[in-house]
Structure 1
Amino acid sequence: MLMLLDFMVSFILFFMGMYVFVSKRKHLLITLLSLEFIVLILFLFMFIYLNLLSYEIYFSMIFLTFSVCEGALGLSILVSLVRTHGNDYFSSFSVLQC
């Protein structure tokens, strides 16, 4: 019964993160934070699922490694965009500008 509650909470948190990702897309920082939230919820869901089936937790460490690399890449893109454009608004970016 407790595992069912954990699955329900993780699904609710996942959909809350997806809602923030879809609705709050004005700033790049908010988008990156919602993506990191979604990754952490997926890690929680995967950790609960692997413990339920009593599998190895080694795959979760690989997942965390890739999520850290994804976060560092997103942060470096954010820093480079703020340095070139002065802000992180999506409306100030132009596709035609090099």
Structure 2
Amino acid sequence: MLIIIVCLVMFYFGLKMVFINGKHLLMILLTFEYLILVIFLLLMNLFMIYFYDISTIIYFFIVIVCESVLGLVLLTLVVRTHGSDYIKSIVSLL
């Protein structure tokens, strides 16, 4: 039960960091990765305690890796086309 409470507190601070560091696309992507790893930790604890199933966790981890690669590719494309990763400069060019 303590692990679940710690994970929820970590998730809260991760969401707080998204709103504080919302100027750079790279910082948002890094914070989202942190949030996904917290969710992964929470799911791993829940599945290992209650369901004893590791295959769902492996599928979730595969989706996490694909999502992070896609985020880095999009960040690279945005920096190459717009010149920076500032959110305001990207929105103003659209």
CA RMSD of aligned residues (A): 1.3
Matches for 1:1-98 after TM superposition, within 5 Å: 4-94=1-91, 97=94
Q: Which of the two has greater helix per residue?
A: 2
Larger Rg: 1
Report SS of the residue matched to 2:79. helix
How many residue pairs end up in the alignment?
94
Q: Which amino acid aligns with 1:42?
A: I
Moved more, 15-24 or 34-43: 15-24
**Aligned counterparts of 1:61 and 1:6: Cα–Cα separation in 2:** 20
1:7-33 deviation per Cα after TM superposition (whole angstroms, max 9, x unaligned): 111111111111111221100000000
Deviation beyond 2 Å, 4+ runs, structure 1: 94-97
Calculate the TM-score normalised by the size of structure 1.
Answer: 0.89
Letter in 1 for 2:58: M
C-alpha distance in 2 between matches for 1:16 and 1:43: 16
Quote the Cα distance in structure 2 between the aligned partners of 1:95 and 1:62: 38
TM-score, L = length of structure 2 = 0.93
Structure 1 regions of 5+ residues with no counterpart?
none
